[in-house]
Chains A and B, each alone.
Chain A
Amino acid sequence: MDIKLYRQHFLSMGCPCEIGVFSADAKQAESAMAGAENEVHRLDKKYSHFREDSYITRLQITARQAGGVEVDTETASLLDYAATQFEISQGLFDITAGRLARLWHRRESLPSDTELSSALRLTGWAKLQWQSPRLSMPKGMQLELGGIVKEYAADRAALLLRRNGMHSAYVELGGDIHITGPRADGKPWNMGIRNPDQQRHQTGTAMAGIPVNCGGLATSGDYERASIIDGKRYGHIINPTTGWPVNSFQCVSVLAPSCLLAGSLSTLAMLMCHEDGLNMLDESGLTWLARGTNGVDHKG
């Protein structure tokens, strides 16, 4: 009985996902991977903005009525986390920027000023009332939990793998990775990060490999789900105060104890100006990699 690497691919959270475990017991590996995959589907079903029947869609409808709505404990802790993120980032990381995200989603032309201002009017954490467990939102406001739920799902899936004894495994949800422990031979995993140019020229080379023993690796970039307007690229990460897509970095990758923390810091760096982003990453005390719009790479 020797140790083999078992893999599983599936679609969820609107992106290709993969789970890999080193195990000496095929049956145990299969059941652990199935448990982790189900957790990702559960969270996708619950928090998907594109499904009419998802919990988060129905929740927002009631939240817009008088008196608001009471949320469940998991959503409450996610909203608490979002509140901390909003405060720590001085308003840059704002999950109420759903209208702006929709505005810029798959566009052929730049939005008009009126479209922009009406979306901005419906954005702003301060305009929403959140006293756990009660949430109430103004009419027309749309939550955008993309920056939290996908990383949270990667962490949750990794937790389930570890609970089933998979101490040498990884979960990858479209660039958001959580690794439960070093490879079976004790060596770290070498996680390639998709290369922004490669996305443009469809070549498959990874930008850089970060060796990871355990923890979360998240990458925020302007290449996924971006719009090309008049030859210029507009990413999907929007500055909630200006309403415009950010362009201080092509992409930022952070390695942290959890994928959620890694994702928060990588997205926060994208939201800041180039200078502040690099300083924030440098002081964070974590390992990171950032590629400027001029193609110059920075590491810490």
Chain B
Amino acid sequence: MLNSATRLFWTLLLWACLHLQALAVQPGGPAPGFELPRLDNGETIRLSDFKGKVVYVDFWASWCGPCRQSLPLYEDLQKRLPVGQFQIIAINLDEDRKDAEAFLKRHPVSYLILSDPEGISASAWSVPAMPTSFLVDSSGKIANIYIGFEPSHIGTIEHDIKALLDSTAASHPD
């Protein structure tokens, strides 16, 4: 009869193998894209509309704590970086639009907010946690993925974006 220690070992092992899941979307790979309505006026927006620009796609919801912290800092970020070459797109995954609208009334932001209550885009981009952001370069490839958020990350995010902007400017100076 297996003594309790070995039974415990097998149970823990079982648990461990239940929890492996590869991340489908990888840095360097193409960005899956999306076609979603704006939260404010319902106009349809596609990722392809921003070809040639560096795009920062952020998946968030009003009920997620770290997301609440990130939005005001993204607002500063958008103001500090040239709009012509860089665009933040925040995809709201609240099931109930009213929750998102109530939040944005308290924390107004000027960059693009799209609404995806069914989470179709979140499945396509296989978002692993809330929040998750994808840095997409001007050719539509994923340059970086940021899982979770803490205020001190904003420095590194800005650093990566600037690096992309410099390399884009260098590759085809207009």
A residues with a Cβ closer than 8 A to B are: 3, 24, 181-187, 213-214
8 additional contacts, CB 8 Å, given A24-B80, A185-B159? A181-B152, A184-B155, A185-B155, A186-B154, A186-B156, A186-B159, A213-B152, A214-B152
Q: How far is the CA of A187 from the CA of B158 in the complex (A)?
A: 11
Closest residue on chain B to residue A188 by CB atoms: B155
A182 touches B155 (CB 8 A): yes
Task: State in angstroms the CA–CA spacing of A39 and B156 once bound together.
Answer: 32
A186 touches B155 (CB 8 A): yes
Closest residue of chain B to A214, judged by CB? B152
The chain B residue with its CB closest to the CB of A182 is B155
- A186 CB contacts on chain B under 8 angstroms: 154-156, 158-159
Q: Are A187 and B80 in contact (CB under 8 A)?
A: no
Sorted nearest first, the 7 A-B pairs with minimum C-beta distance are A186-B155, A186-B159, A182-B155, A186-B156, A185-B159, A186-B158, A213-B152
| Interface residues of chain A: helix, strand, loop or mixed (majority) | loop
Which residues of B118-144 are within 8 A (CB) of A? none
User: Which of A3, A24, A182, A184 is the one whose CB lies under 8 Å from B152?
Assistant: A182
Q: Roughly how many angstroms separate A184 CA and B159 CA in the complex, as a whole number?
A: 9
A residues within 8 A CB of B159? 185-187
- The secondary structure that dominates the B interface is helix
| CB-defined contacts of A183 to chain B, threshold 8 Å | 155
Interface residues, chain B, CB within 8 Å of chain A?
A: 80, 152, 154-156, 158-159
Rounded to whole angstroms, the CA-CA distance of A24 and B81 in the bound complex is 12
Give the distance to chain B from A202, nearest Cβ to Cβ, in Å.
Answer: 37
Q: Which residues of A contact B158 (CB under 8 A)?
A: 185-186
With both beta carbons as reference points, the residue of chain B lying nearest to A24 in the complex is identified as B80
A137–B94 Cα gap in the complex (Å)? 63
- Nearest chain-B residue to A185 (Cβ)? B159
A5 to chain B, nearest CB (A): 15
How many angstroms from the CA of A213 to the CA of B154 in the assembled complex? 13
How far apart are B151's CB and chain A's nearest CB, in angstroms? 9
Q: How many Å lie between the Cα of A187 and that of B154 in the bound state?
A: 11
CB-based nearest A residue for B73: A167
Whole-angstrom CA separation of A24 from B76 in the bound complex:
11
Residues in chain B near residue A214, CB distance under 8 A: 152
CB B119 to nearest CB in A, in angstroms, measures 31
19 A-B interface contacts by CB (under 8 A):
A3-B80, A24-B80, A181-B152, A182-B152, A182-B155, A183-B155, A184-B155, A185-B155, A185-B158, A185-B159, A186-B154, A186-B155, A186-B156, A186-B158, A186-B159, A187-B155, A187-B159, A213-B152, A214-B152
Nearest Cβ in chain A — how far from B67, in angstroms?
A: 20
Contacts of A184 in B (CB 8 A): 155
Specify the chain A residue showing the minimal Cβ separation from B158: A186
Q: Which residues of A contact B156 (CB under 8 A)?
A: 186
Contacts of A185 in B (CB 8 A): 155, 158-159
Chain A residues near B154 (CB, 8 Å)?
Answer: 186
Q: How far is the CB of A4 from chain B (nearest CB, A)?
A: 13
- Residue in chain A with minimal CB distance to B156: A186
- Nearest CB on A from B36, distance (A): 30
Q: Which residues of chain A have C-beta atoms less than 8 A from B155's C-beta?
A: 182-187
The residue among B152, B155, B156 with the most chain A CB atoms within 10 A of its own CB is B155
A118, chain B: closest CB distance, angstroms: 53
- B160 — nearest CB in chain A belongs to which residue? A186
Chain A residue with Cβ nearest B153: A186
Q: Give the Cβ gap from A287 to chain B, nearest Cβ, in Å.
A: 16
Shortest A230–chain B CB gap in Å is: 51
A187 vs B160: C-alpha distance when bound (angstroms): 12
The distance in angstroms between the C-alpha atoms of A213 and B155, with both chains bound, is 11
CB A23 to nearest CB in B, in angstroms, measures 11
Interface centre among A3, A183, A186, A187 (most CB of B within 10 A): A186
Alpha-carbon gap, A24 to B80, bound state (A): 9
CA distance A186 to B154 in the complex (A): 8
Residues in chain A near residue B80, CB distance under 8 A: 3, 24
B residues within 8 A CB of A181?
A: 152
Q: How far is the CA of A137 from the CA of B80 in the complex (A)?
A: 56
